[in-house]
Amino acid sequence: MIEEKNILNYETVDLDEQEGALVILDQTKLPGEVKILRLKEQKDIWQAIYLLQVRGAPAIGVAAAFGLYLAAKDIRADTWEEFYPSLHKAKEYLNSSRPTAVNLSWALNRMEKVAEENKEKSIPEIKELLQKEALEIKAEDVWMCRKIGEYGLRLIKDGDGILTHCNAGQLATSKYGTALAPIHLGRERGMNFKVFCDETRPLLQGIRLSSFELMADGVDTTVICDNMASQVMRNGWVDAVFVGCDRVAANGDACNKIGTSGVAILAKYYGIPFYVLGPTSTIDMSIPRGEEIVIEQRLPEEVTEMWYQQRMAPQGVKVYNPAFDVTSHELISGIVTECGIARPPFRESLREVFRKSRNGGRDGVDG
């Protein structure tokens, strides 16, 4: 436990080079306890990703990059032939921690590619390049989230009501967040919003994390149970829905925390625009449609026991506990990235987003 301060002033994920540690804000303890973990062993980093001590697609990517650098730092080798097998093994190990969030494999592949492209260099030089790349991934995350916030802010106006599901805020990234970035950026500019946070069963990221960071930013925040979203929309209190994403298929189908697709269906019925916000690293053009995204299955105890003083379900009952669901592209009004807003038809607009991304985000899609 460290001194109390505004949660937005903490680093979600960082590197302590001197101690050789991945530093994370333990999100399983929030909001009751602010606890910083300093992880030096690969098994502890793997477990932190699996147990959602660090969570959110962008933050997972940053943590994985730092984790692989720390693994490389500990490899004792004098030649590439001795070094690379150990690096690849560490990469595959970290990649096995969670199957759905594409940022995990994206960051690890990017790190490995840096090593492969510089294999003629000395091992100390390769390790230095891996450190630089990991730090660059974090710096890019901050830049991307701010750009997402700027594009997303075009979709709402001062005083709007916004509904969000799960946590795609600063606690899921290095700064600002994705789905919550427009709200945080708007607050920096003196704007006010009314935000409704689904509690997000079964791990409660909405009630524990989103409401916590939004209130820390002075946002008018209301927590609702997941099954209250329809009534809140019916009341006319929601002008837009902002959610994050863990993987987006080439056709625009978006995978996000379980319950998101139900929110999208309700928004369609009530005529409310539904936006998915995430960096281009979350878009997987190798997957043509959402049905091909591997959905992580979680332990049944997360449903039956985790938040109760005693077990709430009968012994022996079956539990289906997928971590994510897929929202059809037909329900999505736009996908907000650091390179602009992709709109239907998504196969064409997402390709344009990637073209702009390759050009450094300087031209092309502007939403």
Q: Concatenate the DSSP letters of all residues of 51-111 into one string.
A: TTSS-SHHHHHHHHHHHHHHHHHT---SSHHHHHHHHHHHHHHHHTS-SS-HHHHHHHHHH
Go through the domains of the chain in sequence order and give each one's CATH number.
7-144 (1.20.120.420), 148-358 (3.40.50.10470)
Of 253, 281, 259, the residue nearest 339 (C-alpha): 281
The per-residue pLDDT for 148 is 98
Q: Crossing angle for the helix pair 80-95 and 102-117, nearest 10 degrees?
A: 170
Q: The tokens of 172 are what?
A: 């899921």
Taking Cα atoms as reference points, which of 21, 73, 74 lies closest to residue 48?
Answer: 21
Which sign does the torsion angle of CA 198, 201, 207, 211 carry?
negative
**With bands split at pLDDT 50, 70 and 90, how would you rate the model's confidence at 361?**
low
- pLDDT tens string 239-269: 999 999 999 999 999 999 999 999 999 999 9
Q: What is the pLDDT of residues 344-353, one digit of tens each?
A: 999 999 999 9
Q: Decide the pairing of beta strands 220-224 and 283-284.
A: unpaired
The rounded radius of gyration (Å) of the Cα atoms in the chain is 20
Query: pLDDT category, 363, cuts 50, 70, 90?
Result: very low
Give the whole-number percent of the chain exceeding pLDDT 90: 94
Cα gap 193→218, rounded to integer Å: 10
- pLDDT over 70 (residue 141): yes
- Of the pLDDT bands very low, low, confident and very high (cuts 50, 70, 90), residue 367 is very low
Q: What average pLDDT score do residues 132-152 get?
A: 97
What distance in Å separates the CA atoms of residue 136 and residue 295, rounded to the nearest whole number? Answer: 29
Which residues are the active-site residues?
Answer: 246
Q: Residue 250's closest CA among 335, 178, 167, 146? A: 335
Cα–Cα distance, 122 to 119 (Å, whole number)? 8
User: Is the pTM above the cut of 0.85?
Assistant: yes
Count other Cβ atoms within 10 Å, centred on residue 337.
Answer: 32
Question: CA–CA separation, 42 vs 40, rounded Å?
Answer: 7
3-class DSSP assignment, residue 297: strand
In one letter, which amino acid is 269?
A: Y
Could you tell me the two tokens for 272? 């409310």
Contact status, residue 100 vs residue 255, Cβ threshold 8 Å: yes
